[in-house]
Amino acid sequence: MPEQLVHFSERSRPEVDLLLSCARTEITPEITDRIRRLVEGKVDWIELIQLALRHDVVPLLYRHLQQACPNSVPQDVLGAMGARYRTQSARAQRLAEELVQILARFEQEGILAVPYKGPVLAQRLYGDLSLRGFNDLDIVVLERDIPRAQELIRRFGYELVKLKDIGKLAKHMRTSPGYELHFHRSDGALLELHWRFATRMACVRHDPDPLLERLETISLAGIKVRSLPLEIYLSVLSIHATKHKWKQLKLICDIAEILRHADLDWHSVGTQANDLGVRRMIAVGVLLADDLLEATAPAELARELKIDRTTQALAAEVRRNFFSEPDETWHNGAEFPFQVKIRERLLDKAIMVQRNLLPKLKPDERDRRFLPLPGFFSFLYYLVRPVRWTWAKMNKGAGPGTRNVEVTLSER
């Protein structure tokens, strides 16, 4: 293992160790023995299932427990996981068939459409639709094709979730901080139509053009469909996982499975990562995959990534509370300081600050309510705004007891 990749984890809880041992497509005889020893010991099965659900790796956990030691696992636990596995597998097959039909219609209309994540990634990377959980379909098209693409999707019975007025589509695409349109159908099916792989906040230049230059085909539901090569998936999945601050083990499993493909063009991965400015994003995922899932990065990739102390610190920050009880912010995206620190180029950091923070300094009605000023002093609201922010943050952080004291003092 290269010197740059530093381990920082401790497998102190049997539930965590068991989950990590099973969170991969292939297990060695040594890992099989480890799984059996852990199962024969003291395992809190409720905690294990909760962890597997939270990190969306129930299929992998069930598959390897079923294969390694089915008679040692409580039958009610194994039975519940098996029922969920079969339900999820059937749903994955239905979604794959739905995706194939939609892609065929795109092809007929002359629209370049590339599915990613979902059933295509499950098939390409895991070799089995049932082994990677997904709840929706994701399709990327060129920005110019979004109007036609969304109309086509609606013919399949989908409706836009947030944007009800199609006449405002162009403005939405121009001003929205996101990078997708959300669709739903009455039967519960969900679909996301993307025109970029990264949010506007991430400021990944030239997205998505270089990521769509080289495509391959795979077989899905018996039909050939387009797919991103794994070399490109490494960048795309790292961008996606960074947005969520790598809070799910499933996101790290994806990276680990890519690293286990020894025949990839690692030099092209490094070249593209440098061009996009996402080298550190990939490096954080590589560190986490190595630490948690024993997926060692090839030496060539490690050299390309140039892993530094900042990268190691960011990976350690992610890992610190990875298996702790989630709080109410668990589903939130990564905070802005983390998003900035994970970029290696100063220019990218500056663009992110300019694009995401400066607009927030513009005064609004809340500032005027906070401190009414005569019109000729309106320029002072640029100074009032940070004061109001600080005041609001202090009040939000104050507990009930603090507020009671404030009320008592003011009443006196």
Q: List b or e across 36-72, with b for residues whose CB sees 16 or more CB atoms inside 10 angstroms.
A: eebbeeebebeebbebbebbbbbbbbbbbbeebbeee
Do the bridges between strand 137-141 and strand 113-115 make them parallel or antiparallel, or are there none, so unpaired? Answer: antiparallel
On whether the CB atoms of residues 157 and 185 are closer than 8 A, the answer is: yes
Q: Which of 231, 232, 229, 234 is nearest to 218 (CA)?
A: 229
**Cα–Cα distance for residue pair 278/237, rounded to 1 Å:** 11
> What are the start-end ranges of the H helices in 244-295?
249-259, 266-276, 279-293
Provide the CATH number for the domain formed by 86-324+332-346 in this structure: 3.30.460.40
Q: What is the CA radius of gyration of the chain?
A: 24
Burial class for 322, CB neighbours closer than 10 Å (0-12, 13-18, 19+): middle
Q: CB within 8 A of 346, min separation 6: which ones?
A: none
On whether the CB atoms of residues 23 and 253 are closer than 8 A, the answer is: yes
pTM of the model: 0.86
Per-residue pLDDT of the chain (412 residues; tens, 9 = 90+): 444 444 445 567 999 999 999 999 999 999 999 999 999 999 999 999 999 999 999 999 999 999 999 999 999 999 999 999 999 999 999 999 999 999 999 999 999 999 999 999 999 999 999 999 999 999 999 999 999 999 999 999 999 987 777 777 888 787 777 789 999 999 999 999 999 999 888 889 889 999 999 999 999 999 999 999 999 999 999 999 999 999 999 999 999 999 999 899 999 999 999 999 999 999 999 999 999 999 999 999 999 999 999 999 999 999 988 998 776 676 778 888 999 999 999 999 999 988 877 667 778 888 888 888 887 777 777 777 778 877 877 776 555 443 333 333 233 3
Domain ranges of the chain: 86-324+332-346, 362-411
